[in-house]
Amino acid sequence: MRTRLLLSSLTVFVAASIANADVLRVPQDFDTLQAAIDASVDGDEIEVKGKHTGDFRVNGKTNLTIRAKGKATLQVDTNANNLSLDDSTNITLQGRTLKGATASGLVIRNCDTVTIEKLKILKPARDGISGFGSSNVTIRDVKIVKPTLDGIALAVGSSLSFTDVLIERVKVTRAGDDGIQGHGTRITIRDCTVIKPGDTGIELDLDRFSTDCTVENNTVKKAGFRGFAFSVFGGTQTGNKSLGSSADGFVFQGTFANATGNIAQKSGDDGFFIIATDSTFTGNVATKSDADGFDIENEENLFDGNEATKNRENGFEVENPNNTFTNNVGQKNKLRDMEDETDPGDNTYNGNQFGSSNIP
């Protein structure tokens, strides 16, 4: 009997909590978005219409949804971010335009379970989205236009990294610095497009290792420096395209990378610059690079079924021993299709097709 009473009390409490969740409408019920945020309690939804000016802060909130109705715009008129999320849990932002930030468009700090969907962030004076120390973050269907620094910058310059992040179908146009940059564990970047960033299109912070991250099916066009740059411990890098970067198409450093089916086309330097070790490169393509297709400067890597064609220097250039090459193809490269600068026998070759090479 006592167990039944406890269960009944719990059911009544949960039902009462659900019943008390409200839809707070701005401007119908509250003059400002900040007033609605301050008045919200666990489980509330804020519905925003029209244009609102100020800097807006969600601090210490739980189970809150802020949703645009129609074309809602948040405009900043002070030296601040458009919208800041701090020390909050289970926060959802959907469908609004953030513009005029004199700092970053959206900042996420020390939060857990955040979903950002269908936002448009226009010309922030710093990053489009930035933050540190957060987990279980989803950023989906977001457009970021002309940020002065990075489109997305997660834990950049902070020791407090991100964990369990999904960045999906994000488009970053003309970022002043990197398109998407992050550091952390289990970060997935998928189906994103970065156009004409000033520096690197997509980067997992080269100054530190990111662990078990997935970067797949992204496209970077005309990067001002590198298309992609990875400093990784484990994880996969699959089906990405670097088109017309000013420097390297792809840079790999770290350990246990697994790169499959990536394409570097018309890179201003190497198609793939590889200083990783104990990694696997399968079915990648480098074509029409201004330098080497694959410039390999570390050891203990496996290269299988990769292709280098029409590069202005070597198709494959190998500068370290203890790598294995199987079933790779090098054709129509200006210098050699394979240039191995190590001592004979230091690397292993089997089943490759090189039109010209210096290997025995």
H/E stretch holding 63 reads strand 62-68
Are 142 and 170 in contact by the 8 Å Cβ rule? The answer is yes
Residue 325 CA, chain-centre distance (Å), reads 30
Give pLDDT tens digits along the chain (360 positions). Answer: 333 333 333 333 333 333 456 999 999 999 999 999 999 999 999 999 988 888 899 999 999 999 998 887 888 766 667 889 999 999 999 988 888 787 899 999 999 999 999 999 999 999 999 999 999 999 999 999 999 999 999 988 777 889 999 999 999 999 999 999 999 999 999 999 999 999 999 999 877 788 999 999 999 999 999 999 999 888 999 999 999 999 999 999 999 999 999 999 999 999 999 999 999 999 999 999 999 999 999 999 999 999 999 999 999 999 999 999 999 999 999 999 999 999 989 999 999 999 999 987
DSSP label of 12? H
Residue 12 burial (C-beta neighbours within 10 Å; 0-12, 13-18, 19+): exposed
Q: Phi then psi for 293, rounded to 5 degrees? A: -70, -50
pLDDT digits (tens, 9 = 90+) for 144-180: 999 999 999 998 877 788 999 999 999 999 999 999 9
Hunting for tokens 């600068």 — which residue is that? 341
CA distance 93 to 140: 11
Short-list 69, 115, 118, 79, CA closest to 98: 118
Helix-strand-coil split of the chain, %, nearest 5 = 5, 45, 45
> Under 8 Å CB-to-CB from 17, ≥6 apart: which residues?
42, 43
Instruction: Kindly list the distances between the CA atom of residue 230 and the CA atoms of 11, 227, 269, in Å, as whole numbers in the listed order.
Output: 49, 10, 17
Dihedral of alpha carbons 352, 353, 357, 359, sign: positive
CATH number of 50-354: 2.160.20.10
Hunting for tokens 């309690």 — which residue is that? 41
Q: Phi then psi for 16, rounded to 5 degrees? A: -65, -40
pLDDT digits (tens, 9 = 90+) for 111-127: 999 999 999 999 999 99
Are 270 and 246 in contact by the 8 Å Cβ rule? The answer is no
Q: Which two tokens stand for residue 317?
A: 């250039």
Cis omega before residue 27 (within 30°)?
A: yes
**DSSP assignment string, 74-87:** EE--SSS-SEEEES
CA distance 91 to 102: 24
Region of 206 on the Ramachandran plot (φ > 0 left; ψ -120 to 50 alpha; else beta):
alpha
Q: Phi then psi for 300, rounded to 5 degrees? A: 60, 40
> Under 8 Å CB-to-CB from 306, ≥6 apart: which residues?
281, 282, 283, 284, 285, 286, 294, 316, 328, 329
Q: Which two tokens stand for residue 202?
A: 């997509």
Are 250 and 269 in contact by the 8 Å Cβ rule? The answer is no
Q: Which two tokens stand for residue 124?
A: 């922030």
Hunting for tokens 């919208």 — which residue is that? 83
